[in-house]
Amino acid sequence: MSARGDAAAAFQFLSRFPVKYSPDFSPELLRRSVVYYPLVGAAIGLSAALGAAAAAWLLPVWPAAVITLILWVGLTGGLHLDGWMDCADALLSYRSRERMLEIMKDSRVGAMGVLACVLLLLLKASLLAALIEGGSYSMLPLLLLPPVWSRWYMVRAMARYPLARGNEGLAASFGGLPARLERRARLSAALLTLAAAAAPLALGAGSGAWPQLAAAAILAPAAAAACGMLAARRIGSRLGGLTGDVYGALGELLETVVLLVLVLLQHNL
């Protein structure tokens, strides 16, 4: 299988970009495709940045932020939000491990899942509004960082934590993920971060933006790694490992964490 095919599989699996490719999603293909997860994140982030720029040019801050978020969610098909809601229903039920895993398999969404989804989207919308209001168009390329590093950590979680259901479920397709694939995904995320940090300068941000850009390039991966580790360990201790829903929930959590880091940097540097 070519690298092009692996990349196409990653885009089809994680996004709703119109990629014309008909792969057989075998476990081998799914494992190889994880190298391109940060690239999918970059494509989503770039689309969100362009959407934010267009919406902010036409509309006030909050409508622009909500439209940007709608575009962001639409490009993922709500895949990770589904995992976020399932995890909320299970982990906030305070049931036994077996019962929590059953709840996560249930296609219905409970009250905790709905509340968790609403609060997450409100927080994301408010953070996007803060970024749009407090910054300039030239700084919007930093929106690549949340989806890039959240998707990298999903790969890291696949490689480093056991599976809660063993050989059952979609997560089993990623069982035995080689550490070298996680390292390649991390290198890809780092290169994309350098590009995202350099883009504002090319767009006229000015030399005064250097401290914020450098801090973002350093703190975004650090925050994703630290918060991801804490969350994965906590969830893993309760479930006996991770599941596909947990990977999605980690993605949503870390996108929000990195967005928060960007807002803090924008308002303090």
* DSSP 8-state assignment for residue 166: T
What pTM was estimated for this model as a whole?
A: 0.95
Per-residue pLDDT of the chain (269 residues; tens, 9 = 90+): 578 889 999 999 999 998 887 667 788 888 999 999 999 999 999 999 999 999 999 999 999 999 999 999 999 999 999 999 999 999 998 889 999 999 998 888 999 999 999 999 999 999 999 999 977 889 999 999 999 999 999 999 999 999 998 887 778 888 778 899 999 999 999 999 999 999 999 998 887 899 999 999 999 999 999 999 999 999 999 999 999 999 999 999 999 999 999 999 998 87
Residues composing the chain: 269
Q: Which domain holds residue 91?
A: 3-268
| Cβ-based neighbour number of residue 134 at 10 Å | 12
Quick one: pLDDT at residue 259?
98
Give long-range contacts, CB 8 A cutoff, 24+ apart: 225-233.
Answer: 225/153, 225/156, 227/253, 227/254, 227/257, 228/153, 228/156, 228/157, 228/253, 228/254, 232/157, 232/160, 232/161
Quick one: pLDDT at residue 2?
77
3-state SS assignment for residue 227: helix
8 A C-beta contact, residue 148 and residue 42:
yes
Looking at the DSSP assignment, which residues form a beta bridge with residue 163?
A: 242
- Indicate the number of domains in the chain: 1
8 A C-beta contact, residue 165 and residue 101:
yes
Question: Which among 44, 71, 217 has a CA at the least distance from the CA of 139?
Answer: 217
Quick one: pLDDT at residue 1?
53
* DSSP 8-state assignment for residue 108: S
Question: Which among 16, 38, 123, 253 has a CA at the least distance from the CA of 245?
Answer: 253
Quick one: pLDDT at residue 63?
97
8 A C-beta contact, residue 145 and residue 220:
yes
Structure-block tokens of residue 252: 């949503």
